[in-house]
Amino acid sequence: MTLLESSPVVSRVERVPGKGEYLIVFSDSTEIRILKEHLPGSGVEEGVRLDRDRIRELDSVYKYARARKAALRLLKVRPRTELEIRRRFRVLRTDRQAADRVVADLMAEGLVDDRVFARLWIDEKVQRGDCGRIRISHDLEAKGIERAVVAEELKAALSDTKELDLAGRLALKRMGRLGGVTVQEARRKVYTYLLGRGFTSDAAAEATKRAIEIEARTDEDEISRS
């Protein structure tokens, strides 16, 4: 192997338009990129000869830095699961080794934590009160969180009593929007609606039953006052 092949010369260093990085072209047509902030002190300038190990090192640093910046941009918007980060890397065609290193580092730093994500997601859904445990579980598993983790966090945050309470509130709202239907039709529509919102069949049935009873008592009170 010749000296030129083992240690090519930097033939061109040029700024990439619209990006904070530089394109480095070597005498053997090898190309790598370096972030703007990494160029000073890197030893990269036209006419300098670099060995293959150094070129691979610079390339690895660039790919890692790009991947980490992409991940941090996502995390700035909202927390993400490990799977969501990896999906984004696939869309960006991120180097696999760089992606693995970034994910491992973010998890070690606590910036990506599937259990914490599940806990926050469940708390938000419970506060909003617009869906049940089945919907919550399905959404979290779709984001790559292990079923056991989802089950544990749901058990801690959403008891059967709490879910029934949430279902009951939605059932009453739904009843108020129906109007002009028979009791049987109201029961069917409310029950089906609650199932569609991800409540268990038991919670949906009981909440529907209670909503119909409350509606009936309300109608009776209005009749007695008239």
| 104 lies in the same domain as 52 | yes
Spatial separation of the C-alpha atoms in residues 4 and 77, rounded to whole Å: 47
Same domain membership, residue 93 and residue 12: yes
| Contact partners, residue 33, CB within 8 Å, separation at least 6 | 16, 21, 22, 23, 24, 59, 62
Count other Cβ atoms within 10 Å, centred on residue 18. Answer: 6
Based on the domain organization, do 182 and 219 belong to the same domain?
Answer: yes
Q: Are the C-beta atoms of 44 and 13 separated by less than 8 Å?
A: yes
What confidence score (pLDDT) does residue 2 get?
44
Report yes or no: 200 and 133 within 8 Å, Cβ to Cβ. Answer: yes
For the segment 10-37, the average pLDDT, to the nearest whole number, is 94
134 plus 209 within the same structural domain: no
Going by pLDDT thresholds of 50, 70 and 90, the confidence category of residue 217 is confident
The count of residues in the chain is 226
Residue 219 confidence (pLDDT) above 90: no
7 and 103 share a domain?
yes
Last residue of a domain, one of 45, 76, 108: 108
Please tell me the distance from the alpha carbon of residue 203 to that of residue 133, in angstroms, as a whole number: 10
CATH of the domain at 40: 1.10.10.10
Mean pLDDT over 56-70 rounds to 96
The per-residue pLDDT of the chain, averaged, comes to 92
- Same-domain pairing of 123 and 150: yes
Res 149 pLDDT > 80: yes
Mean pLDDT of 24-52: 93
Number of structural domains found in the chain: 3
pLDDT band at 177 (very low <50, low <70, confident <90, very high): confident
| Residue 4 predicted with pLDDT over 50 | no
For residues 93 and 59, state if they share a domain: yes
pLDDT of 221 strictly over 80: no
Judgement on whether residues 179 and 104 belong to the same structural domain of the protein: no
Assess whether pLDDT exceeds 90 at residue 222.
Answer: no
If asked whether residues 28 and 125 sit together in one domain, one would say no
Residue numbers of the domain that contains 176: 161-225
Predicted TM-score (pTM) of this structure: 0.83
Q: Are 171 and 212 in the same domain?
A: yes
Q: Check whether residue 90 and residue 129 sit in a common domain.
A: no
Q: Distances in Å between the alpha carbon of 196 and those of 132, 133, 161? A: 9, 12, 19
